[in-house]
């Protein structure tokens, strides 16, 4: 009798699960956006490489969770075009995000966010969901992207007369100089020297930067850090890391200030690329979409004010500790600073081409820092 009761319960549970699955299959698919936050350490970037299990990406874990929660059929996971999947920014190896947006068609099941998150590791969270227009594409409809870059302030210590270790503290004058240099990037410039595989006459090398500045320093685990914020229409592969790398080289005394303007000309300039560790996709902006559809009575504007507290908590729990602990253990910034002396900031284009042929840097194959096929 007892065995019969257990068997009945088991059969009922199986039947309930099947009913749930059938019900899911009957649900109409709707176009939505998901607000994502993740710590990128240990991942080979955001974008999935179907057929390549060698390099784990954030999207591998996301797609698996979408299938397991019943939001999408299994075959949509294998061919992401079937669910009209589009990420807003293609973040690079090791890069984190606090406000990534993906658009896709899903079955709007009950408790959808909770169910997706139940199948995700704790360092990847879906923090919000909104319905969007059927033709919405998170990459194409994005007007601008804001990134932050958290770095230890000893990166700005002058090579000849400052202490180069963690005891360094950033003074007001140096911070002002850093901000003066970062402000030079504002506006539209030719950033062909800040990425790979783009020539000086390629129109797509011109990019528009809205703002760039470094905030006040703060101390964590006895190391002083600062956060640089940059907002731009879109960014090319490695562009942000090279923009920051060049400013560090100037402030440390390796390069003259004039190199920034020179880098926008046709001449090839040796621009160092800062480590990927501190880079975080903070938020993506949809101002034009919000003006057109945000108050049409059917759709909400793509603003995430209600989720801001959750975003802040996630950064404190997963993103900042990862950056701080990895910097302490692996010394990625300290090790990179030691390579600045081997860059030639005065070389001519001819010399640069000769050097490039003899030593192709493998790190250029990492992917992008962020936003579209060729971009951050």
What digits encode the pLDDT tens for the residues 137-189? 999 999 999 999 999 999 999 999 899 999 999 999 999 999 999 999 999 99
The residue out of 118, 141, 164 marking a domain boundary is 141
Average pLDDT of span 185-205: 94
Confidence of residue 13 (pLDDT cuts 50, 70, 90): low
Confidence of residue 4 (pLDDT cuts 50, 70, 90): low
| 118 and 258 co-located in one domain | no
What is the pLDDT, as a whole number, of residue 336? 97
Torsion sign (Cα): 71, 89, 79, 301 = positive
φ, ψ of residue 65 to 5 degrees: the values are: -70, -35
Q: Choosing from 60, 61, 92, 376, which is the catalytic residue?
A: 92
Domain assignment present for 267: yes
| 270 and 179 co-located in one domain | yes
CATH of the domain at 303: 3.30.70.660
Residue 363 reports pLDDT greater than 50: no
Residue 356 reports pLDDT greater than 70: no
Residue 237 reports pLDDT greater than 70: yes
Give residue 281's domain range.
144-288+297-346
Q: At what angle do helices 172-183 and 239-251 cross, to 10 degrees?
A: 140
DSSP 8-state class, residue 254: S
Domain assignment present for 215: yes
Domain assignment present for 20: no
What is the pLDDT, as a whole number, of residue 25? 62
| 129 and 236 co-located in one domain | no
What is the pLDDT, as a whole number, of residue 11? 59
C-beta separation of 144 from 232 below 8 A: yes
Domain assignment present for 76: yes
Average pLDDT of span 73-92: 87
What is the pLDDT, as a whole number, of residue 298? 81
Domain assignment present for 375: no
| 134 and 152 co-located in one domain | no
| 75 and 187 co-located in one domain | no
What is the pLDDT, as a whole number, of residue 205? 95
What is the pLDDT, as a whole number, of residue 29? 86
CATH of the domain at 101: 3.30.70.580
Average pLDDT of span 117-122: 97
The answer to whether 318 is annotated as binding is no
Percent of the chain residues topping a pLDDT of 70: 84
| 46 and 121 co-located in one domain | yes
| 249 and 122 co-located in one domain | no
What is the pLDDT, as a whole number, of residue 372? 41
More confident residue, 300 or 17: 300
What is the pLDDT, as a whole number, of residue 364? 36
User: Mean pLDDT, the chain, as a whole number?
Assistant: 87
What is the pLDDT, as a whole number, of residue 103? 95
Dist. CA 131–CA 100, nearest whole Å: 16
Domain assignment present for 14: no
| 277 and 153 co-located in one domain | yes
Q: What is the DSSP string of 198-245?
A: --TT-GGGEEEEEEEEE---EEETTEEEEEEEEEES--BTTHHHHHHH
| 337 and 193 co-located in one domain | yes
What is the pLDDT, as a whole number, of residue 201? 93
What is the value of pTM for the model shown? 0.85
Query: Which SS3 state, helix, strand or coil, does residue 280 take?
Result: strand
pLDDT digits (tens, 9 = 90+) for 21-67: 555 566 788 999 999 999 999 999 999 877 666 789 999 999 999 99
What is the pLDDT, as a whole number, of residue 362? 36
- The domain total for the chain is 2
Confidence of residue 18 (pLDDT cuts 50, 70, 90): low
Residue 353 reports pLDDT greater than 60: no
The residue out of 89, 113, 141 marking a domain boundary is 141
Confidence of residue 370 (pLDDT cuts 50, 70, 90): very low
pLDDT digits (tens, 9 = 90+) for 305-324: 999 999 999 999 999 999 99
Other Cβ atoms within 10 Å of 160 Cβ, number: 7
92 is catalytic: yes
What is the pLDDT, as a whole number, of residue 296? 81
Domain assignment present for 95: yes
| 238 and 135 co-located in one domain | no
Confidence of residue 74 (pLDDT cuts 50, 70, 90): confident
Confidence of residue 365 (pLDDT cuts 50, 70, 90): very low
| 199 and 323 co-located in one domain | yes
| 126 and 148 co-located in one domain | no
Domain assignment present for 332: yes
The residue out of 141, 173, 195 marking a domain boundary is 141
């Amino acid at each position: 009798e007892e065995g019969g009761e257990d068997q009945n319960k088991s059969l009922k549970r199986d039947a309930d699960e099947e009913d749930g699955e059938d019900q899911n299959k009957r649900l109409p698919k709707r176009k939505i956006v998901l607000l994502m936050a993740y710590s990128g350490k240990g991942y080979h970037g955001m974008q999935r490489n179907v057929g390549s299990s060698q390099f784990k990406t954030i999207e591998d874990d996301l797609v698996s969770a979408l299938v397991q929660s019943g939001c999408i059929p299994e075959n949509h996971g294998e061919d992401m075009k079937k669910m009209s999947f589009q990420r807003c920014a293609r973040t690079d190896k090791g890069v984190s995000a606090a406000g990534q947006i993906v658009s896709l068609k899903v079955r709007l099941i009950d408790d959808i966010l909770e169910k997706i998150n139940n199948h995700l590791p704790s360092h990847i969270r879906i923090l919000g969901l909104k319905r969007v227009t059927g033709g919405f594409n998170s990459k194409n409809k994005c007007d601008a992207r804001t990134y932050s870059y958290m770095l230890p302030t000893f990166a700005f210590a002058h090579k000849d007369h400052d202490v180069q270790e963690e005891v360094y503290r950033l003074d007001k004058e140096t911070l002002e100089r850093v901000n003066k240099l970062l402000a030079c990037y504002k506006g539209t410039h030719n950033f062909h020297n800040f990425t790979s595989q783009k020539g000086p006459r390629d129109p797509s090398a011109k990019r528009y930067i809205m703002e760039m500045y470094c905030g006040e320093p703060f101390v964590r685990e006895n190391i002083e850090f600062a956060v640089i914020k940059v907002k731009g229409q879109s960014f090319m592969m490695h562009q942000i890391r090279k923009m920051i790398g060049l400013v560090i080289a100037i402030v440390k005394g390796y390069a003259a200030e004039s190199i920034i303007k020179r880098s926008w000309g046709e001449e090839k300039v040796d621009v160092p690329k800062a480590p990927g560790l501190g880079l975080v996709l903070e938020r993506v902006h949809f101002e034009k979409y919000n003006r057109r559809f945000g108050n049409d009575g059917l759709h909400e504007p793509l603003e995430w004010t209600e989720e801001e507290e959750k975003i802040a908590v996630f950064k404190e729990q997963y993103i900042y500790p990862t950056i701080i602990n990895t910097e302490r253990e692996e010394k990625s910034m300290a090790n990179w600073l030691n390579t600045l002396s081997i860059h030639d900031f005065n070389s001519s284009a001819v010399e640069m081409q000769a050097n490039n042929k003899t030593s192709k840097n493998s790190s250029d194959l990492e992917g992008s820092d962020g936003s579209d096929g060729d971009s951050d």
